[in-house]
Structure 1
Amino acid sequence: MNSATLCLTEKTVSLQRAYEVAVDENPANEKTSASARKKRAVGKHGYFWAPGRTLRIAFLSGDQAFKDAVKSAANNWLPHINLTFDFVEGETGDIRISSEDGIYWSMIGTNALLVEAEEPTMRLSPEHHLAPALFAANVMHEFGHALGAEHEHLHPESNIPWNKPAVYAAHWVDENADEDDYARRSVDERYFNLLDASDFDYSPYDPKSIMHYAVRQNWTHGNFKIDLNLVLSEKDKAFMEKAYPHSAVQHD
């Protein structure tokens, strides 16, 4: 999300299994037509939890101050979703959070159900003392992933004028590296490979989204830049309100 700590999202090993788990959790995750319910670009199917259900959230590590800061930031989503967060004692939960220096990472939505029970589904760097606003933004971003959202800068309609050689250089990647080179492929997937519009139903591109990376001016052509978004945007809220409507049937 920022120049120091980039968010990483885990790619599930079996897309078929991910689909089965997602649709079993929430039948609305099955891909809909363009004329039906609109969804942000979240995959060939959705990864949303069943509206009305309670998500049990456990901490695998971290001190109490870290846990309190995570809870406070994550709860910013609650007014906009038909879900309940239950931060539980112990290490058993639908979402399991590990405190690890320099890492921001999350499974996407229902893919958390594919993770072994003793393993984390989210990792957060314990920076709440050093930069509370930045930490809160990172937590909201990762919980956006946990609720089923992808990175907004990879939106099919994203119009970022990337200076690719500059981005490659910043990541110590030779701009002439083969497309199959691991380091180049990692940068491409992180910044440049937009989601395919033919595969997704999505809402309009939102440069103010909490799910958007900050974009450095020296990584683009011209004067284009996007500062780090520290709060939920209005489109973030609207997107989640559609994904988790309060009119949905309640689940235990």
Structure 2
Amino acid sequence: MSSATLCLTERTVSLQRTYEVAVAENPTNEKISASTRKKRAVGKHGYFWAPGRTLRIAFLNGDQAFRDAVKSAANNWLPHINLTFDFVDGKSGDIRISSEPGVYWSIIGTNALLVEAEDPTMRLSPDHMLAPALFTANVIHEFGHALGAEHEHLHPESNIPWNKPAVYAAHGVAEDADEDDYARRSVDERYFNLLDASDFDYSPYDPKSIMHYAVRRSWTHGDFKIDLNLVLSDKDKAFMAKAYPFPAAQTA
């Protein structure tokens, strides 16, 4: 998520299976299009857990200080969502966290249910002692993915004036690399390939989102830049509150 340690998300191979699992977990993941009133096709669905659910979260490794720092950071989401986090003993959980230096990575939402039981669904670099504020932001970001959120800089309405040659050069992509070059495709997927507006429910573009990459001025045209966001934005909170609503208040 930072310019030094990029977050990587992973998608499962079978769209059909992701669809089946997502809808079985939370029927509202199978949304109705307001324009066509037809059910969304496979690949055009949400990945949100069922509101009111308890997510069991296990650690596959890492010392107690790391685990405590992860818990503290992840809990920033809880006031805004109708979910409970249960950090369990042992290695069996809906979300399974592996501590791996230099890596920030997460499965998106309910896709975690498709991961083999012994494998991690999230990886976090143990930077809690060296850079506590950055570590906290990265953990909040990864838990955003685990709750079903995508990267904000890939928002369909994102208007970042990328200087693509500068970004390619910074990532070691050859100047003459064609569109099929693996390194170029990786950069395109990470920064440039915006999400299809027809595939997702989304709120207005939010450059202050915890789910947004920092954008270096040297990677854009003009003076455009976005500093690393360290805390949840108001739109982050509102987006997740909509995805995980609390029951309507009962009136006497």
TM-score where L is the length of structure 1: 0.94
Q: CA deviation at 1:3?
A: 1.6
In the TM superposition, 1:212-227 aligns within 5 A as: 212-227=212-227
**Whole-angstrom CA distance in 1 between matches of 2:21 and 2:235:** 27
Q: Deviations 1:168-210 (Å, cap 9, x if unpaired)?
A: 0000002321101100000000000001113223110000000
**Whole-angstrom CA distance in 2 between matches of 1:159 and 1:112:** 31
Report how many residues are paired: 242
Letter in 1 for 2:211: M
SS of structure 2 residue aligned to 1:110:
helix
Is this contact kept in 2: 1:32–1:201, CA < 8 A? no
Match of 2:158 in 1: 158
In the TM superposition, 1:1-252 aligns within 5 A as: 1-34=1-34, 44-247=44-247
Letter in 2 for 1:91: K
Q: What root-mean-square deviation, in Å, do the aligned CA atoms of Structure 1 and Structure 2 show? A: 1.2
SS of structure 2 residue aligned to 1:235:
helix
Structure 2: segments with no counterpart, 5+ residues: 37-42
Match of 1:39 in 2: none
User: How much identity, in percent, do the aligned residues show?
Assistant: 88
Consecutive aligned runs of 4 or more in structure 1 exceeding 6 Å deviation: none
Q: Deviations 1:67-125 (Å, cap 9, x if unpaired)?
A: 00000000000000000000000000000000000000000000000000000000000
**Whole-angstrom CA distance in 1 between matches of 2:31 and 2:7:** 26
Letter in 1 for 2:190: R
Is this contact kept in 2: 1:73–1:137, CA < 8 A? yes
TM-score where L is the length of structure 2: 0.94
Structure 1: segments with no counterpart, 5+ residues: 37-42
Q: Deviations 1:131-178 (Å, cap 9, x if unpaired)?
A: 000000000000000000000000000000000000000000023211
Structure ranking higher on relative contact order (CA contacts 8 Å, 6+ apart): 1
Letter in 2 for 1:129: M
Is this contact kept in 2: 1:59–1:98, CA < 8 A? yes
Is this contact kept in 2: 1:34–1:201, CA < 8 A? no
Letter in 2 for 1:127: D
